[in-house]
Amino acid sequence: MSGGAQADRPALTKVLDNVRSGDVLVIWKLDRLGRSLKNLIEIVNELLQRKVGLKSLNDPIDTTTSHGR
């Protein structure tokens, strides 16, 4: 993960450091996860590579299902 936008977000850094394959990261809204579209895509790609699911409570995003991926 590139440092700039994430460096000042210690809670997100801690969560991303601690999620493991098979976990599901549940977020309130996509705009709360990434600082920019590019940053959001980087985070989501990292989660997918690490086989960590992503569910957004207020957006139609759920990568834990084949339809959501």
Q: What is the mean pLDDT of residues 58-67?
A: 79
Q: What are the structural domain ranges in the chain?
A: 3-56
Its CATH class, for the domain covering 3-56, is alpha beta
The pLDDT of residue 69 is 60
Instruction: Kindly report, residue by residue over 3-55, the tens digit of the pLDDT.
Output: 554 458 899 999 999 999 999 999 999 888 988 999 999 999 999 999 999 99
3-state secondary structure 11-61: HHHHHHHHCCCCCEEEECCHHHCCCCHHHHHHHHHHHHHCCCEEEECCCCC
Give the Cα separation of 40 and 37 in Å (integer): 5
The rounded distance, in Å, linking the Cα atoms of 8 and 48 is 23
